[in-house]
Amino acid sequence: MEESPGVRIFISYSHDSREHKAKVRELSDRLRREDVDCTIDQYVETPAYGWPQWTAEQIERSTFVLVVVSRGYQERLAGIALPGPGHGVAWESQLITQAIYDDKGRNLKFIPVAFNRSELPCIPVFLRRATHYVLDEESGYEALYRKLTEQPSVVAPPLGCVRALSEATALPEGFYEGITLKQPGVVWRLPRGFLLLEDLLKSAYVSWSVTAYYVQYDGSWSQGTHFHSGYERSWWERPRGIEVQCRKLGIPKADRDLAERVLRFVCDIRNGDIVLNQDGTFTGAFNSQPFDVGIAQVYPVGELPRQAVPESLRELARLGAIRDLASEAEELSELTPERPEILNYVAEVRASSQRLKRETRLAMSILFDSTHPVRENLGEILIRLEKCSGPDEQRSWAEELAAALREAVRFERDRLSC
């Protein structure tokens, strides 16, 4: 058997009776025989600096503190026990509650145990959220021993590879649930979703509005927004004006350039410069830059059929997903504790790095085949995250990941230009 990893245990209990003390002694002796460094007051005759300081040092130095709950422990804690010995329980409980308070309510150290199930109601309030162990049967002791020696009875299997779904599985035929057109609408397909436009087929007026929704091909969507003639100029002239509209629609960053061209085209239609016919064709003067207008389609009143990524946009969808992943990595690498919206900088960096790792692993299974030049490097970078011990190292890891993803973006762009 491997050597124990230096686990230290201290047992806090009340001197209820000789039998109770003997049970505590038996528990401590057994743990020590099984290579767990356990300490109780019965092993010490007289501490050099007195019992209060000795107890405080034991609690501070221990990996875990076992709190043996009993009626006597509860009464001494509440101050209703008979006069006599029992000051130790009151002192130890103060140290325990202070330690939990200092750790903002977290408890990874103090473990309530009972010698029989009838004593469970005696668990102190400050320990009731913790997992307790009943030692009246061998299975209870074994469960406690597993906890103390980090030998869980059930171990999670290692993560496998993401199972890539076929288009038929990910995008079944039929209609979108919850999306019903109450008037003829226009679907304008983008690389990773489509714009659903209402009021676009109405006659042109000086004053007009269009309601737009961005819907992902799997059917999920965010809130809609209104494009109104009164605000048209501010979209194009105000810094980041149209970007705000794209963000409100939930359009991915890498697809916003194309979305902006579509929205300019929509404004031309509602201003009367271009006519969108019922069959999806266009007539009129193209003031905005023309592009593949064949990705727009008119649908009648009723349920909206499911959409598929146009063949001409598949590679752009692939490139956009990689670009957004690279942007997310760059944002994490630039994260600082001075950002006013960051309440817990350490937790935010840790959570963001883990999310980025999952998203990159998913992208590797879907976007990068075994021959892709950056796949092997990405795999090595993901493994290195486990060795990052703090936010600074995690941010450096994100910077390294962003560089690899930018290399992937350059490779995809070169492939598209060929």
Those residues of the chain that have pLDDT short of 50 are 1-5, 81-84, 167-172, 286-291, 293-294
Closest CA to 179 of 317, 301, 275: 301
- Residue 322 CA from chain centroid, whole number: 20
Residue 33: the pLDDT is 94
pTM for the complete prediction?
A: 0.49
CA distances from 393 to 43, 75, 335, 338, 368 (A): 44, 49, 12, 18, 26
In the three-class reduction of DSSP (H, G, I as helix; E, B as strand; rest coil), residue 299 is classed as strand
**Domains of the chain by residue range:** 8-149, 173-309, 312-417
Strand partners of residue 58: none
Place of tokens 């935010």: 348
Q: Is 193 helix (H, G, I), strand (E, B) or coil?
A: strand
Q: In the chain, how many H helices and how many E strands?
A: 13, 14
pLDDT value for 3: 44
* Assigned CATH topology for domain 8-149: Rossmann fold (3.40.50)
Distance CA 2, CA 219 (A): 53
Do strands 64-68 and 110-114 pair parallel, antiparallel, or not at all (unpaired)?
parallel
H/E element, 175 = strand 175-181
DSSP designation for 86: -
Q: How would you classify the pairing of strands 193-198 and 209-216?
A: antiparallel
